[in-house]
Amino acid sequence: MPVEQIPYRQTGSLVAGNRLLAAELRAGQARPDRADALTCGHRACRGCGEALAARWVVDAALRATANRLIAVNATGCLEVFSTPYPESAWQLPWLHSLFGNAPAVATGVAAALRAQGRTDVRVLGQGGDGGTVDIGFGCLSGMFERNDDVLYVCYDNEAYMNTGVQRSGATPPAARTATTQAVGPEPGNVFGQGKNVPAVAMAHEIPYVATATVADLRDLEYKVTRAMDLRGARYLHVLVPCPLGWGSEAHDTIRLARLATQSGLFPVFEAEHGEVTAVTRIRHHVAVEEYLRRQSRYAHLFRPRERTDVIARIQAQADRNITRYGLLAESAPEEVS
Amino acid sequence: MLRQIEGSQAVAAAVAACRPEVICAYPISPQTHIVEALSATVKSGALAPCEFINVESEFAAMSVAIGASATGARAYTATASQGLLYMAEAVHNAAGLGLPIVMTIANRAIGAPINIWNDHSDSMVMRDAGWIQLYAEDNQEAADLHIQAFAVAERLSVPVMVCMDGFVLTHAFEEVDLPGQNDVDDFLPPYRPRQFLDPSDPVTIGAMVGPEAFTEVRYLAHVNQLRALDAIPAVALGFAESFGRATGGLVRPYRTDDAETVVVALGSVLGTLKDVVDELRDDGLRIGVLGITTYRPFPFDAVRAALTNARRVVVLERAFSAGTGGIVTADVRGAVAGAECVTVVAGLGGRPITRASLRRALVDAHGGRVESLTFLDLDLRLVERELARPR
Amino acid sequence: MDTPFAITLGSASSRTNRTGAWRVERPVYRDLFPPCAAACPAGENVREWLHLAQDGDYEAAWREIMSVNPFPAIMGRVCYRPCETACNRGQLDETVGINSVERFLGDEAIRAGWTVSAGEATGRRVLVVGAGPAGLAAAYHLRLLGHDVTIRDSGPEPGGMMRFGIPAYRLPRDVLDAEIRRIVELGVTLELNTRVGDVADIRDAEGFDAVFLAVGAQLSHRTYVPAGDSAHILDALSVLRRTAGGAPPLLGRRVAVYGGGNTAVDVARTARRLGAADALIVYRRTRDRMPAHESEVTEAEEEGVRLRWLSTIAQADEGRVTVERMRLDESGFPQPTGEFDELDADAVVLALGQDSDLGLVSHTPSVATAHGRIVVDGAFMTGLPGVFAGGDAISGDRTVTSAIGHGRRAAQAIDAWLRETAVEASAPVVEAAFEGLNPWYYTDAPRQHRSKLEAARRTSTFDEVVAGLDAATALFEARRCLSCGGCFECDNCYSVCPDNAVIKLGPGRRYEIDLEYCKGCGLCAAECPAGAIAMIPEQRLEPS
Ligand SMILES: Cc1cc2nc3c(=O)[nH]c(=O)nc-3n(C[C@H](O)[C@H](O)[C@H](O)COP(=O)(O)OP(=O)(O)OC[C@H]3O[C@@H](n4cnc5c(N)ncnc54)[C@H](O)[C@@H]3O)c2cc1C
Ligand SMILES: Cc1ncc(C[n+]2csc(CCOP(=O)(O)OP(=O)(O)O)c2C)c(N)n1
Ligand code: SF4
Ligand code: SF4
Ligand code: SF4
Ligand SMILES: [Mg+2]
């Protein structure tokens, strides 16, 4: 988020609605009249990061489009917990088709709107990491390549949660999932090559690519708003901790996202037309261990004996991100001060 | 307007006359000529406002159509064979969502072994996908069926597949009376869905339905399909009144009234069959033909009515279920009571169905000399050689 | 068919699913006691008035202070700031400059002429003996409560040690006068130059319903220092008193001050201002054990005051003192070493502490004393019913702040006693510990320091040394407060709930949990910067 010059504040824009800021500088989510597009009664687990992020994203998109918005959802937790018949939690026109086709369905919606001359209505596609980086990858790339007028948001909880926490292409190394169990000499997920979909999106040189987390929701809101200012294919990759899949406390959801960013494991940045334009610096640098320890999916790295070798490899990944994105650059202005 | 025209071009012209708003497709033989022609029409601006989306797969093609249709746009796509299977999940989904998409299937065999030629294996796979399936006998009908398809689909909120034999029809030049734009406009009003994705009236489409209501959802789909048994003839009748041609409908009996033996078939083979039947009639054999235009929903009553007097029914199948036999036969058996019902599998993977072979088979069948499952022109030498190979 | 399929749903129907039933813990908004307030001897609710100041409503902030303490401008100068020592922000970067904001508000009030008014008259009469901070604070609160108050003080002007002890360069007299005047103008009868001889007598003779003794500790503590006849030995209090009275004593060029408390420091700094080229503080122990406040020692050093540790004055003679070097034993007590040094000194000022003159109760045996101080109960009442005492005259910290606290609490006790009710026992408080906060949300904000007069001018005049903050910096400083344990309406809870189960009630009205939908994830509590939300186990009825 760009540096806001806000004099005299105790919390700046880190909190949602610092009462010391002018109303227009507060988060949309601080407003009493916010849309709550994902309304209560939905069946997400306690402390679900995906549910939290989705409300921020959809509300922000609604605000940016004066409520002229249609959402397309891939199969996954978000879809399942929001629309078990006969209940729907959605306050906007919303379509779920399949697990792997949300970007293409969104393209179809956009095409229809264009044909109908309803170009004031905008399209939001959304899905989990599985629906995005794995099974929906082809459709996503097609949507990017054609530069269809869709903002696609991936809620990355780093596994197939809805089906019971199986490994996805976004599952980090060493993490335990139902299909990468913590057994054998190298427990948990393999150290693969990784699948950096934001970078893949950037390689398509689409107008806008950004990452965000539930640890900096104002930044998330800003990025949705920014994305809605633009036309063409836009991609937002949001890290959303999942208490069930990560084996973390429900109240730690935001803290974990924070630790992911502050350790450098999850770089937060913005890119336009393939070039990085802004990076959120680390405010309080922490070792990856602090992040890993709070999640039972990494428990085998600490018990029965501490796998310092594995932790060091994960640390190296974080360090690489730090260098690569300049997450600790000294001359950089602090993001929100 | 009568024109000597390739089947694909005729279909493309008919589809264009329906003023689709979103067309998306992925190339596969023998469907390509249809969408190539449409892409040119859209690109020229003649079809505006219409979007032609070049997608990255058939799965995406159907998905784009789903999105577009749910947004209230008239959506069209076309595919064949592998492409149809590649989009399978979305095909079922479109029907489940009740979206009136129209799709042309340029019927082609399914690999392996890979084979680009015509049979009905592809669309038969999708017979239970919840779509209405119409089979064209010739290019005139193929063109006309698309216009009728949109009318039926949009009336019932059910997607429709128009199946036309690959190459045999798609690539054949025949004289076709191309429907005029004004006539089509009169016949087919703009698509006005009852519910679609609209910010002014938000709806949730595609909710998850559990055991408590899934049966009901399927039951409703069934009821809806049954309505098609009324809607399709009604639309065909209307079409005939407007265009002066009787195409479409449920079934097309030919010389069945007094026939002892009736051959049931779908698609372009009907033309040859009728010729053979005429010859056999001349020879004194009481043989008739029942063409099935609407295969899904299966018009049990119409089939039963056409077959009441038949003693023997021969189902000429352009696809079959290995280990089981005829696919259409199973449906036909459900419609006839007393008659003996045999399957003749013919024309797989593009093998020509010659008059001579047909004639032989029908004579045999009429004489009660064919087995319940027969493969027309089976190369026994080849088969036996393979069977003899040690395994 | 109205709708094509059963799968097309209208919106908002998920509200029928009451997810509140999933809860095993529920969030509860709470108001913890911030450490600053807990540490304030005057009992100020620091967080509350900082909160008001943050919004720029200085008058409301000032009134919040005034509800407890009638001397914001004075406290903003002389308080030793235990609140800041306790302030949680110290664990983040630097403590909040509470005191400087308080001073800003106090000065602002004087500038703007804000006043308070007395309570409805009760007709009860209270005598306050002593016009120091304890007596004045008690008088102030008693007037707010509507009682008739007479203050008697033996001195020529009110203020007690604030006037005759604390030098003007730390507490300008116009500030002192302004805040005292505001109290007197509440309708207090102030009788100066009037020593109260015997409490019981006066009470009975003049028919006071209650008496508050706030006589302070006005006598310099005496220690025997062997001295030659012509040695020039003075006590700190008289030096300060005479300086304050405009007739400073002659001290000479070199002054040795004996003692390590604030009085010693003040007297050394005063000596510099009175022309001493060399002011030396002689103290038995080491600097870190000095009772004087660190900042004042630093300021004294800046002004050229020298300090000599681990030394006692063994002998004073004309122009000269002999000091013995000390060393600290294992328990930290200074022990003589038998090594001596001679130093030049034209005068020796003893600053070894103060004692109370308890003559006014010496004829009243029911008023017990111990260690030179009046004994009181928890309600500040002495052994003689209706006679109360506080400030330096009773045991406890000897600071203006604690005297003010005594004055207020004694006034409440007197009021309760007059009404024959009990003082409402305050509920036990839970302190907002730093660990309970979520400091992530606080931006880095360096403390705004008050500027100081240049050292050169400080040694020649009694001008105030430490300047106040201007409005901008005071506001900044107020906004550095973390609002420990108390909601400051940051909207975090409202915005981080994944179940939209926090209801925003509007500015100043805070929030409410929608228990119909709250699943009890605890994100609101975890992400509340101020620790103002607790998760408590859900009480469910066990199926019988
Ligand atoms: C040099 C010096 C500097 C200090 N600096 C600070 C500081 O920076 N910050 C701080 O918090 N504290 C400071 N203190 C301590 C602080 O001044 C006292 O703790 C505080 O003033 C005590 O208030 P009090 O009302 O109890 O008594 P006092 O302020 O001592 O007032 C007692 C009053 O009672 C009067 N009195 C006494 N006996 C009688 C009688 N019999 N009849 C009538 N009147 C009588 C006296 O004349 C006097 O006016 C300092 C003290 C000194 C000596
Ligand atoms: C084609 C297909 N394959 C598999 C599934 C089963 N499936 C449904 S949701 C899901 C996992 C979703 O994971 P993700 O996209 O990461 O979303 P999450 O539930 O984690 O939010 C899977 C595997 C499916 N519905 N469709
Ligand atoms: S499994 Fe994870 S992503 Fe799914 S609802 Fe639960 S917390 Fe959310
Ligand atoms: S931060 Fe504020 S509330 Fe907390 S201790 Fe300091 S002054 Fe008090
Ligand atoms: S999170 Fe913010 S708004 Fe909510 S209770 Fe805490 S301080 Fe108040
Ligand atoms: Mg996932």
Q: How far apart are CA C310 and CA B187, in angstroms?
A: 112
Q: Do B147 and B46 share a structural domain?
A: yes
My answer on whether B42 and B191 are in the same domain is: yes
Region B239-264 average pLDDT: 96
Q: Does C5 touch chain B if contact means CB atoms closer than 8 Å?
A: yes
Please indicate, yes or no, if residue B284 is contained in any of the structural domains: yes
Percentage of chain A lying above the pLDDT 70 cut? 95
Q: Does the beta carbon of C80 sit less than 6 angstroms from any atom of ligand 1?
A: yes
Which residue's CA lies nearest to atom 24 of ligand 1? Answer: C216
Q: What is the mean pLDDT of residues B54-72?
A: 98
Which of B243, B260, B284 terminates a domain? The answer is B243
Rounded CA-CA distance C214/C160 in Å is: 10
C-beta neighbour count of C492 within 10 angstroms: 33
The per-residue pLDDT for range B92-125, each reduced to its tens digit, is 999 999 999 999 999 999 999 999 999 999 999 9
Do B168 and B32 belong together in one domain? yes
**What pLDDT sits at residue C308?**
94
Please indicate if any CB of chain C lies within 8 Å of the CB of B96. yes
Q: Is the CB of C532 under 6 A from ligand 5?
A: yes
CA distances from C38 to C78, C123, C348, C485 (A): 19, 34, 40, 12
Partner residue facing A96 (CB), from B61, B72, B206: B206
Residues near C299 by beta carbon (within 8 Å), at least 6 away in sequence: C269, C452, C458, C465, C466
Q: What is the tally of structural domains in chain B?
A: 2
pLDDT in tens, A68-121: 999 999 999 999 999 998 889 999 999 999 999 999 999 999 999 999 999 999
Q: Does residue A335 carry a pLDDT above 50?
A: no
3-state secondary structure chain B: CEEEEEHHHHHHHHHHHCCCCEEEECCCCCCHHHHHHHHHHHHHCCCCCCEEEECCCHHHHHHHHHHHHHCCCCEEEEECHHHHHHCHHHHHHHHHCCCCCEEEEEECCCCCCCCCCCCCHHHHHHHHCCCEEEECCCHHHHHHHHHHHHHHHHHHCCCEEEEEECCCCCCCEEEEECCCHHHHHHHCCCCCCCCCCCCCCCEEECCECCCCCHHHHHHHHHHHHHHHHHHHHHHHHHHHHHHCCCCCCCEEEECCCCCCEEEEECCCHHHHHHHHHHHHHHCCCCEEEEEECEEECCCHHHHHHHHCCCCEEEEEECCEECCCEEHHHHHHHHHCCCCEEEEEECCHHHCCCCHHHHHHHHHHHHCCCCCCEEECCCCHHHHHHHHHCCC
In a domain, residue B388? The reply is no
Is residue B41 predicted with pLDDT exceeding 80? Answer: yes
| B326, B277: one domain | yes
Least trusted range by pLDDT, from A269-273, B277-281, C6-10, C107-111: C6-10
Q: What DSSP assignment string belongs to A135-182?
A: TTHHHHHHHHHHT-S-EEEEEE-SSBTTTTSB--TTPPTT--BTTB-S
Residue at B347 is within a domain: yes
- Write out the two tokens for C346: 């034209």
Q: Which pLDDT band, with edges at 50, 70 and 90, does C12 fall under? A: low
**Cα–Cα distance, C194 to B47 (Å, whole number):** 108
In a domain, B207, yes or no: yes
CA distance C276 to B135: 117
Q: How far apart are the CA of C22 and the nearest CA of chain A, in angstroms?
A: 8
Burial class of C284 by CB neighbour count within 10 A (0 to 12, 13 to 18, 19+): buried
Tell me which amino acid residue B54 is: N
Question: Quick check: B205 contacting C, CB < 8 Å?
Answer: yes
Which CATH number fits the domain that encloses residue B359?
A: 3.40.50.920
Q: Please indicate, yes or no, whether the overall pTM of this predicted structure exceeds 0.90.
A: yes
Domain co-membership, B238 together with B336: no
Q: Which class would CATH give A37-331? A: alpha beta
C358 lines ligand 1 (CB under 6 A): no
Provide, as residue numbers in chain A, all residues whose Cβ is less than 8 Å from the Cβ of C525.
251
Other beta carbons within 10 angstroms of residue C446's beta carbon come to 9
Inter-chain contact B98–C5, Cβ cutoff 8 Å?
Answer: yes
Length of chain A: 337
Please tell me what DSSP assigns to residue C431. Answer: B
Instruction: Indicate the top mutation candidate among C48, C429, C484 to test ligand 4's pocket, ranked by most ligand atoms within 8 A of CB.
Output: C484
**Looking at the CA of C84, which ligand is closest?**
4
User: How do residues B208-232 score in pLDDT, each as one tens digit?
Assistant: 999 988 998 899 899 999 999 999 9
Nearest CA to ligand 3 atom 5: A44
What integer is the mean pLDDT of A259-271? 98
Cβ-based neighbours of A227, under 8 Å, separated by 6 or more: A151, A208, A210, A234, A236
- Tell the residue nearest (CA) to atom 13 of ligand 2: A160
My answer on whether B37 and B173 are in the same domain is yes
Q: Does one domain contain both B199 and B348?
A: no
- pLDDT bin (cut points 50, 70, 90) of residue C513 is very high
Residue B391 forms part of a structural domain:
no
Q: Provide the pairing of β-strand C233-235 with C347-350.
A: parallel
Q: What is the DSSP string of A246-312?
A: HT--GGGHHHHHHHHHHHTSS--EEEETTEEEEEPPPSS---HHHHHTT-GGGGGGTSSS--HHHHH
pLDDT digit string, tens, across residues A29-66: 999 999 999 999 999 999 999 999 999 999 999 999 99
Phi, psi of B100, deg, nearest 5: -80, 60
Q: What average pLDDT score do residues C211-225 get?
A: 91
Kindly list the residues from chain C whose CB atom is less than 8 angstroms away from the CB atom of residue A280: none
Whether pLDDT at A8 is above 50: no
B303-329 pLDDT tens trace: 999 999 999 999 999 999 999 999 999
Size of interface B-C (CB pairs under 8 A): 44
Closest residue in C to B205 (Cα) is C8
CB distance C488 to ligand 5 below 6 Å: yes
Residue C44 is predicted with a pLDDT of 95
End position of a domain, from candidates B225, B243, B261? B243
Q: Which tens digits make up the pLDDT trace of A317-331?
A: 999 999 999 999 764
* Cβ contact A38:A90 at 8 Å: yes
Identify the residue among A39, A82, A96, A97 best suited for mutation to test binding to B, counting B beta carbons within 10 A and taking the highest: A97
Residue type at position A177: T
Per-residue pLDDT, C231: 86
Chain B hits for A126, Cβ within 8 Å = none
* Cβ(A278)–Cβ(A2) below 8 Å: yes
Residue C135 has pLDDT above 50, yes or no: yes
B104 and B225 belong to one structural domain? yes
> Which of C87, C447, C493, C521 should be substituted to probe chain A, the one whose Cβ sees the most A Cβ atoms within 10 Å?
C521
Domains contained in chain C, CATH given = 18-31+487-537 (3.30.70.20), 36-114+442-478 (1.10.1060.10), 125-218+356-418 (3.50.50.60), 230-242+249-351 (3.50.50.60)
Tokens representing A336 are 């929100």
Asked if the C-beta of C506 comes within 8 angstroms of chain A's C-beta atoms, the answer is: yes
Q: What is the pLDDT at residue C422?
A: 85
d(Cα B335, Cα B331) in Å, to the nearest integer?
A: 7
Q: Over the stretch C111-128, which tens digit does the pLDDT of each residue have?
A: 999 999 999 999 999 999
Share of chain C above pLDDT 70, in %: 97
B197 with B269, same domain: the answer is no
Interface probe for A, chosen from B18, B66, B71, B99 (most Cβ of A below 10 Å), is: B71
A163 CA to centre of ligand 2 in angstroms: 6
* Spatial contact of C448 and C471, defined as CB atoms under 8 Å apart: no
- Report A:74-93 residues touching B (Cβ under 8 A): 79-80, 83-86, 88, 90-93
Alpha carbon of C2: minimum distance to chain B alpha carbons (Å): 8
In 3D, which of C450, C454, C452 has the Cα closest to residue C473? C450
Q: Tell me how long chain C is.
A: 544
Predicted local distance difference test score (pLDDT) of residue A215: 98
Mean pLDDT to the nearest integer, C244-257: 93
pLDDT exceeds cutoff 60 at A6: no
Option in A92, A97, A110 nearest B206 (CB): A97
Q: Write the ipTM.
A: 0.96
Taking only the tens place, the pLDDT of each residue in A190-231 is 999 999 999 999 999 999 999 999 999 999 999 999 999 999
Evaluate whether residue B73 is within a structural domain: yes
Which residues of B fall within a CB distance of 8 Å from C12?
A: none
So what's the pLDDT on residue C462? 86
> How does the average pLDDT of chain A come out, rounded?
94
pLDDT band at residue C149 under the 50/70/90 scheme: very high
More confident residue, A331 or C280: C280
Q: How far is CA A56 from CA A47, A49, A229, B200, in A?
A: 15, 11, 17, 21
Summarize pLDDT for C343-381 with one digit per residue, the tens: 999 999 999 999 999 999 999 999 999 999 999 999 999
The tens digit of pLDDT for each residue in C431-490 reads 999 999 999 998 877 777 777 777 777 777 888 888 888 888 888 889 899 999 999 999
Q: How far away, in angstroms, is C340 Cα from ligand 3 center?
A: 79
- Pair B199, B110 in one domain: yes
Furthest C-alpha separation in chain B: 69
Chain C: residue whose CA lies nearest to B217: C6
Band (pLDDT 50/70/90 cuts) for residue C540 is low
> Nearest CA to CA, how far is C405 from chain A (Å)?
30
Question: CA-based Rg of chain B, rounded to a whole angstrom?
Answer: 21
Mean pLDDT score, B242-265:
96
| Whether C541 contacts chain A with CB within 8 A | no
pLDDT band for C541, please (50, 70, 90 cuts). Answer: low
Domain boundary among B179, B208, B243: B243
Residues B91 and B175 in one domain: yes
The string of pLDDT tens digits covering residues C320-343 is: 999 999 999 998 889 999 999 999
Residue B301 pLDDT more than 70?
yes
For B110, the domain range is 2-243
* Cis peptide preceding B49, ω within 30 of 0: yes
For range B260-279, the mean pLDDT = 97
The pairing of strands C311-317 and C320-328 is antiparallel
Res A332 pLDDT > 50:
no
